[in-house]
Amino acid sequence: MISFFFLIIYMGPFMLILLVSSIQVKCFHEIITIGYRVYRSYELPWFRTLSWYFLLCVNYFFYGETVADYFVTSVQREESLQFLIRYHRFISFVLYLAGFCIFVLSLVKKHYRLQFYMFGWTHVTLLITVTQSHLVIQNLFEGMIWFIVPISIVICNDIMAYLFGFFFGRTPLIKLSPKKTWEGLIGGFFSTVVFGFIISYILSQYEYFVCPVDYNSETNRFSANCEPSQMFQLQKYPIPSVLQTVLAWKTVSLYPFQIHSIALSTFASLIGPFGGFFASGFKRAFKIKDFADTIPGHGGIMDRFDCQYLMATFVHVYIASFIRGPNPSKVLQQLLVLQPEQQLHIYKILKAYLTERGLLHPALPAP
């Protein structure tokens, strides 16, 4: 599995997006199948059909938002796609509304409560799988390092927590997972922080991993070429005076992203496992061992990605809160699709602003 993952990374962002989408569909299938098995004796009309229809609707909405956000310039060149982009949200709403109406029309008197249970089941499943996978893709567009490092540290934490728990575990951690121990949690935490720090140092050296993913309309391919930001350039940090005598160093060179990796590793180690505990509670509630038997010896895809979805949300929130600033390329894309008179109006406002700040010579001729 690890070799396959490395191969997908080598093949580029597009294959990673396909991988995320495939995992999303499989996870949705596993959870919906559990609901179907539990309630299939009631012969609920349209349950599975509507569930898959809602999956298509929600994916259409999220992927359409991504296309409008990152590929608007390329899409504007295709007249057939302009209508879909311009009215994307309205079309998405109409599609969802059609499914909603079909659900209402399918209600059977003796199964009202059960049908609403399953309606809620489908929507919670969509929230867990589709929304989170969309956030994973959003993180990927910020740079492949924001995709690879979080996934890698969650895997590392799973492995190291298991090893420390197996060899040193004595104190039970939580009743939902009797095999989890405090020793495994603590050992996994320190191991994951070290691993995240090291892998962040390695990946920060390559543009392929640190540059935001852009779509090149001329080559019709995704690319990751840029001048690395300050976060991915070595910086010197002073060492505390207490440690200077021990290490014989006064400063240390680090990539700022390595410091951020500590926050990511901390979350993956201390909060991420709660995604697994949640999944364990879910399986216990329905008296099943695994979500499926897709992977021999491991269970279903959802059994392997229960912590990854929670991690994806944290990374997205972390980027939006502490990392992402104004994106000139996105602003430029939006400007290019405006009407000429709107572009000219913005130009005049920007010219006046820059002139007032002394950044532009007032004698610059207008177009």
Residue 215: name the closest of 319, 335, 73 by CA.
73
Residues 348 and 367 sit within 8 Å (Cβ to Cβ): no
- How many other C-beta atoms can be found within 10 angstroms of the C-beta atom of residue 1? 9
Q: Backbone dihedral region of 172: left (phi > 0), alpha (psi from -120 to 50 degrees) or beta?
A: beta
pTM listed for this prediction: 0.86
Q: What is the pLDDT of residue 54?
A: 97
Q: Running DSSP on this structure, what letter comes out for residue 214?
A: E
Where are the alpha helices (H) located in 248-339, listed in sequence order?
A: 256-270, 273-285, 301-318, 328-336
Low-confidence ranges of the chain (pLDDT < 70): 1, 40-42, 72-77, 217, 325-330, 333, 363-367
Distance between CA atoms of 157 and 192, rounded to whole angstroms?
5
The reported pLDDT for the residue numbered 364 is 47
The pLDDT, as a whole number, for residue 336 is 73
What is the spatial distance between Cα 39 and Cα 8, in angstroms, rounded to a whole number? Answer: 38
